[in-house]
Chains A and B, each alone.
Chain A
């Protein structure tokens, strides 16, 4: 493998700045790596070779012309297939959008382009971001580069697998209930869910509007922060976008100091149902932070136990409405349009053929939960729970700066293991969901490998709304403390992938 694909985004940036390499060279190296490994990993749904090389050439030209470029200009990136990119196929992992080329860029993509970041292609995901394993993709599962028989996590499995397979140094994910953090944990990478409204949802194919948050995926904390800074900030195209300055995430990632920081361990996120190896790595990480001068206390968030059921009412309710537009009228798949069927039948046939089981399941759940006579019992009640969870956070943040927990109760499980047990699948997101319901910031950082299976464990940090910088401060401290132990970032411990030539 080319050494270039081993580099972090920050390192690549320096190499380009010093003229040692070019964006074309870097981009080509990653495209080569994709073609060598993606048959096995299946991180990508679409590789935009031509587009990526053109963007790389354009950046090189600007650099050669002496233009002042952003820190990530020329660095390649893998984009979750749920964000629109003008003229590039975007499917959200669903058959119903097969071949659809959006006529517009999402705000995240516009900002990536403006920063000169090279978009390599679109990464695999659970259909419409529904799932915790990337097995629900209509285009087949993604494999975890640490163990190809295992899932990479979901729904952003493609993005996390791409960076852990060294196919890209950076990726974009979206997090509705943990879809950035949970795959980050399972692949030993960094995944950040910014504050809801801190990054724009414009052009993000909606799963659940009140929960969806785009965010950065990377192999290091600093890389994630650099990418965070590019995509975050107010967007007038998104009414829920927060009109405030982006928190100083890069500065926090560079500082990485936790001395005097008050850290709360959430009592409810641990114990029964948590894999011993996961808990062991979590407690080690907490100890490390204590040694670095952090003050650690146990904190109770009593309503977190209702987060999962509340989430599984709110999400399908919003999703059932958001997915109604997939009706074969204006874009995407169209089945049965042979002159024999009327509009409603074409709609029915298209949805039958175009949506997978999990999507249909959640549409039915959501439709039921919103229907008259049930609204108060389900959706209304879930919204009340949501308020209580936000209050738990608020109370906790009166005593501590950040909250921590394991990112997931277990390490990555085997492909096919939980396909027939939706509830077991849903439980993967136990730790991550409360932050989505409350809208605050959260991230998963590598915490080592579980003793029993040698797979990555994620350390979960949660911070108040618009205090995303605190995540990076903790993540960077942990990363540098553990680097001594591992001889680099956790990814350096990953087994080599067999490459096909």
Chain B
């Protein structure tokens, strides 16, 4: 199945074609109950334990709208600078799938709750304004599990099971307008957009935005148009890309794949494609055609929604400040230079640093850990920062150990390594790896004595009026202590010893 298609190197592709993108981002809201019934929404529960006649679509059952879901939708719309509809309603999107209880999805069609918005993303210091077509409310489907095969995919499976726990969980679908970004920046802009959406959703508290748990999912539409042409090409839709890095990779891949086909005189099929994380390619899903007819019509089981302007304004008042203003403020507060701030944003570390600083860590230290240790670990394992298993709380804990003199930076790095590898809490890792700083003066003094004894020439230099030479003695002590000594302390004790 995984036949690697011929691709054009990205440079060549972008020399000939301009990429055009559109993103559809699905966000699962973190409401306590489902969109149209009172069932709980907890992730990871036993299959089919969070269902009722309504979300199972049993005959006779009727939906009732979750007011908190509507509130979250309005907040998202406002955060994306959208207009909020004075009157909107749900529609039925009719299609068949075994994990869709009603065989129609209750969604919004031509009357979405939020529309005509924008958000700015920054890539390499450059600001790109992404226009938002709409943000609408809908419900999630159930989940099919294919059993009996080797791969868990439907091919080769002996039977399928359906878990309806997810059916009816509220979703907001954010749809961008066509994004035309100068060539090579396109994939990075897409990544930055998704990353920014996550930051935004996190900051307004409407979703857990866990890409690994599917609470943030992205479909990427990509087409190419020949340089200088204004005619849009045929697009493909790559479904369910579930990490920031994958968004960038999948779009890059589609550009190179489509370019190879077009430059060979071929045609792009309008189709959905599946992204394969392991091989870094997309493969054909089902072909999309005009026959794809969802027969939308207004949902007759639900009355229209008319959010009052007072309500909308009161929700607007609860929103955190706009991201661009907030960034400017944070940069000032933190005292970061422009390039430093750019690295933070491009590295997707902004929200983590914010939350770490909130826990009492000073900004440069927070930046050092997130952009240094953790970004490197994420990069090595191909994960996003948020999926490393290390959060602001752990970073703050390690920093506190440093501040208290229990660790120095070098040892702290080893603690982070242990955290990423899941070796336990910082304390457990320190114990298991034997990382604590030696604070016992007598042990240090013994090591200092050994260093002095072993380096008489250095001692002579110091005594002859060259105190800087003492650095070599400190180095020797640190080496003796296998790095587990506080360098400042060593210096202090050594100076006393040498009488300087």
Contact = CB atoms under 8 A, between A and B. Distances in A.
Interface of A: 83-84, 90, 92, 97, 100, 102-104, 106, 201-206, 208-210, 236-240, 317-318, 320-321, 324-327, 329-331, 343-344, 347, 367, 370-372, 375, 379
Given A92-B59, A205-B60, A326-B59, 8 more contacts: A205-B59, A208-B300, A236-B64, A239-B302, A240-B301, A321-B92, A331-B59, A344-B96
Given A104-B53, A370-B295, A325 B162 contact: no
Contacts of A321: 92, 94, 104, 295, 297
A372 B293 contact: yes
Contacts of B301: 201, 206, 209, 239-240
Given A239-B65, A370-B94, A102 B60 contact: yes
B243 to A, nearest CB: 30
Interface string B421-451: 0000000000000000000000000000000
A351 to B, nearest CB: 11
Contacts of A375: 295-297
A371 B290 CA distance: 11
Q: Which 6 A-B pairs have the closest CB atoms?
A: A324-B103, A209-B300, A370-B295, A210-B300, A203-B60, A205-B59
Interface in B123-180: 160, 162
A209 B302 CA distance: 10
B56, B57, B63, B301: residue with the most chain A Cβ atoms closer than 10 Å: B301
Contacts of A92: 59
A325 B96 contact: no
Nearest to B51: A330
Nearest to B92: A321
A90 B136 CA distance: 36
B61 A203 contact: yes
Contact of B58 (A236, A320, A330): A330
27 contacts: A84-B60, A97-B59, A102-B58, A102-B60, A203-B61, A236-B64, A237-B62, A238-B64, A239-B65, A240-B300, A240-B301, A320-B94, A324-B94, A324-B103, A325-B102, A325-B103, A326-B59, A327-B98, A329-B98, A330-B58, A343-B98, A347-B96, A370-B94, A370-B297, A372-B295, A375-B297, A379-B297
B187 interface: no
Contacts of B62: 201-202, 237-239
A368 B20 CA distance: 35
A177 B353 CA distance: 63
B19 interface: no
Nearest to B64: A239
A234 to B, nearest CB: 12
A270 to B, nearest CB: 31
B112 interface: no
Contacts of A103: 53, 58
Contacts of A203: 60-61
B303 interface: yes
Interface string B84-102: 0000000010101010011
A130 B95 CA distance: 23
A347 B98 CA distance: 9
Interface string B46-82: 0000000100111111111100000000000000000
A206 B104 contact: no
Interface in B256-311: 293, 295-297, 300-303
Given A343-B160, A372-B295, A206 B60 contact: yes
Contacts of B56: 330
Contacts of B103: 324-325, 327
Contacts of A370: 94, 295-297
Contact of A202 (B61, B94, B160, B303): B61
A236 B88 CA distance: 20
Secondary structure dominating the interface of B: loop
Interface of B: 53, 56-65, 92, 94, 96, 98, 101-104, 160, 162, 293, 295-297, 300-303
A206 B301 CA distance: 10
Given A321-B94, A325-B102, A330-B101, A104 B295 contact: no
Contact of B101 (A209, A238, A325): A325
B85 to A, nearest CB: 18
B297 A204 contact: no
Given A324-B94, A324-B103, A329-B98, A83 B295 contact: no
Secondary structure dominating the interface of A: loop
B299 to A, nearest CB: 8
B161 to A, nearest CB: 11
A232 B56 CA distance: 26
A98 to B, nearest CB: 13
Contact of A204 (B60, B65, B162): B60
A386 B454 CA distance: 102
A251 B65 CA distance: 35
Nearest to B94: A321
B153 to A, nearest CB: 14
A237 B37 CA distance: 9
A349 to B, nearest CB: 14
A239 B63 contact: yes
A329 B162 contact: yes
A327 to B, nearest CB: 6
Nearest to A318: B300
A324 B104 contact: yes
A97 B293 CA distance: 28
B60 A83 contact: yes
A106 B61 CA distance: 8
A209 B98 CA distance: 23
B96 A106 contact: no
Contact of B59 (A239, A317, A325): A325
Contacts of B303: 239-240
Contacts of B162: 329
Contacts of A97: 59
A375 B303 CA distance: 21
Nearest to A236: B64
Nearest to B36: A239
Contacts of A317: 297
Contacts of B53: 102-104
Contacts of B59: 84, 90, 92, 97, 100, 102, 205-206, 325-326, 331
A170 to B, nearest CB: 21
Contacts of A371: 293, 295
Contacts of A209: 300-301
Contacts of A331: 58-59
Given A372-B295, A379-B297, A325 B64 contact: no
A182 B60 CA distance: 23
Contacts of B98: 327, 329, 343
A450 B295 CA distance: 46
Contacts of A205: 59-60
A331 B57 CA distance: 10
A206 B57 CA distance: 11
Nearest to A366: B295
B329 to A, nearest CB: 43
A199 to B, nearest CB: 13
B60 A237 contact: no
Contacts of B296: 370, 375
Contacts of A206: 59-60, 301
Contacts of A344: 96
Contacts of B61: 104, 202-203
Nearest to B90: A239
Contacts of B302: 239-240
Contacts of A329: 98, 162
A18 B56 CA distance: 47
Given A321-B92, A324-B104, A202 B60 contact: yes
Nearest to A372: B293
A330 B57 contact: yes
A239 B64 CA distance: 5
Nearest to A332: B59
A321 B53 CA distance: 18
Contacts of A324: 94, 96, 102-104
